[in-house]
Chains A and B, each alone.
Chain A
């Protein structure tokens, strides 16, 4: 499907190679220039998910990060694919969906700026649970899952800081899903 190719094509512009380990990237990062690297760190620090995190933690996470822009309609990922990344959105919205034969593609939840898309990278066997599709031009920071997992395995302080920020997101999504499942607007006002 062409949209996927377009997506990867765009990602290429932002340096697909960067998604590997920090050591491998060092030379490349220098080529990117200090300014660009600081810009990424700044944007990361400004994301609500990472609000209040330490400079050191931010630098660690930034080492796994790269910027991405995804065209409207393009899929970020599909159900069942390896969850090797997550997205911190700062522009545009994405739809999490699933297909049901006879009912087509169902949208389960939409997520927007300030939110994280993709939590499957935390939980083995690391497979995306839903389809993720950009509803409009989307800009985000992609975090490489292998990189992040390696860092939190080695650094319990970083691990704790991240989980403290991710657990409330999980709880909020669970609460939302439960409320949706009540179908309160069906018979009531």
Chain B
């Protein structure tokens, strides 16, 4: 009939739902209930960019989207940090080196790395929101001279729940990145900040007219952080955020991740704030 359909064989050859085998090379316990897996795909796997995600699956259990946490320029391993909150993430958390995991990806739109050259970069993260920003920090620090000030403002729950703690300590020693970590709860032995991450923004050293902010964390935290960044002088078009929604197919066909007119899996997860601002303020959108 008249239409846009093509022969079946060609379409079947590129079945986007068929996962490919990967093997766990390393597993690291990060926090209580949080592990980082390094996975090596067995066959060639398209290079991802920072901010994109892969679908990690275990046959018979299911498949979930996990942000890429490794810098694609640093080797073949895909680094994914997983918090055990559901059946699939719990099963993924129990994988050990040598185990098989099934991959689809990479999917989505990542952070605007190309647009950051010559600018100050303010990374604002909360909790596990640091995971999708880790590859950005690696990339920025690997090509440090291409950027102006680099600031990392990170909020966590307590001293024992700071993700990538050792790595942050190593970054601190470089002296060419300003890092401030603030906690919701701390004892007297904590020498850093206590309070919300938004509180760090007015004190951070960056030029708001030449800075780009990358924000990732719980949505309420991102909304507050964006307000504080705006108050500090950043334009809405200079703020990027990574959204989270239910994602099942990762290719814009299952409909679950809709956020206003967007499919978060395909049009995001990273969005420029001014593009999503009207929907971000609508409850239960």
Direct contact between A and B judged by beta carbons closer than 8 A: yes
B193 contacts partner chain A, Cβ-Cβ < 8 Å: yes
Once the chains are docked, how many angstroms separate the CA of A109 from the CA of B200?
Answer: 12
Q: Min CB distance, B37 to chain A, in Å?
A: 16
A113 touches B195 (CB 8 A): no
**Interface code B94-135, partner A: CB below 8 Å = 1, 0 otherwise?**
000000000000000000000000000000001111010000
**Interface code B131-143, partner A: CB below 8 Å = 1, 0 otherwise?**
1000000000000
A30 contacts partner chain B, Cβ-Cβ < 8 Å: no
Contacts A114-B202, A184-B221: A179 and B196 contacting too (C-beta < 8 A)? yes
B244 touches A189 (CB 8 A): yes
Once the chains are docked, how many angstroms separate the CA of A109 from the CA of B184?
Answer: 8
Once the chains are docked, how many angstroms separate the CA of A183 from the CA of B183?
Answer: 10
- Stretch in contact with the other chain, from B20-28, B49-57, B154-162: B154-162
A184 touches B217 (CB 8 A): yes
Interface centre among A106, A107, A183, A187 (most CB of B within 10 A): A107
* Cβ-defined partner of A183 (8 Å) among B184, B187, B192, B198: B184
A189 touches B129 (CB 8 A): yes
Tell me which residues from 185 to 242 in chain B have a Cβ below 8 Å from any Cβ of chain A: 185-188, 190-196, 198-199, 202-203, 217-218, 220-221, 224
Tell me which residues from 72 to 110 in chain B have a Cβ below 8 Å from any Cβ of chain A: 83, 85
Interface centre among B128, B184, B217, B221 (most CB of A within 10 A): B184
B217 touches A189 (CB 8 A): yes
Assign chain A's interface to a size class: 20 to 34
Contacts A185-B127, A185-B157, A189-B131: A176 and B187 contacting too (C-beta < 8 A)? no
Once the chains are docked, how many angstroms separate the CA of A114 from the CA of B85?
Answer: 40
A67 contacts partner chain B, Cβ-Cβ < 8 Å: no
A36 contacts partner chain B, Cβ-Cβ < 8 Å: no
Once the chains are docked, how many angstroms separate the CA of A93 from the CA of B200?
Answer: 13
Once the chains are docked, how many angstroms separate the CA of A58 from the CA of B194?
Answer: 31
Closest to B203 in A: A112
Once the chains are docked, how many angstroms separate the CA of A18 from the CA of B62?
Answer: 71
Total count of chain B residues near the partner, CB < 8 A: 34
B220 touches A182 (CB 8 A): yes
B186 touches A179 (CB 8 A): no
Once the chains are docked, how many angstroms separate the CA of A44 from the CA of B280?
Answer: 40
Residues of A within 8 A of B192 (CB): 110
Residues of B within 8 A of A97 (CB): 188
**Interface code A95-115, partner B: CB below 8 Å = 1, 0 otherwise?**
101000001111111101110
Once the chains are docked, how many angstroms separate the CA of A95 from the CA of B185?
Answer: 12
A124 contacts partner chain B, Cβ-Cβ < 8 Å: no
A107 touches B218 (CB 8 A): no
Residues of A within 8 A of B161 (CB): 185
Q: Min CB distance, A31 to chain B, in Å?
A: 36
Once the chains are docked, how many angstroms separate the CA of A176 from the CA of B131?
Answer: 24
Q: Min CB distance, A172 to chain B, in Å?
A: 8
Closest to B225 in A: A179
Q: Min CB distance, A135 to chain B, in Å?
A: 6
Once the chains are docked, how many angstroms separate the CA of A115 from the CA of B128?
Answer: 29
Q: Min CB distance, B25 to chain A, in Å?
A: 23
16 contacts between A and B (CB under 8 A): A107-B188, A108-B194, A109-B195, A110-B194, A113-B203, A176-B195, A179-B196, A179-B221, A180-B184, A182-B220, A183-B184, A184-B221, A185-B127, A185-B156, A188-B127, A189-B217
Which A residues lie at the B interface, using CB under 8 A? 93, 95, 97, 103-110, 112-114, 133, 135, 172, 175-176, 179-180, 182-189
Nearest 4 Cβ contacts at the A-B interface:
A185-B127, A189-B128, A184-B218, A105-B188
Q: Given contacts A109-B194, A114-B202, A180-B185, could you give 15 more A-B pairs where the C-beta distance is less than 8 Å?
A: A95-B188, A103-B187, A105-B188, A107-B188, A110-B182, A110-B194, A114-B203, A175-B224, A176-B195, A179-B196, A180-B184, A184-B126, A185-B127, A189-B217, A189-B244
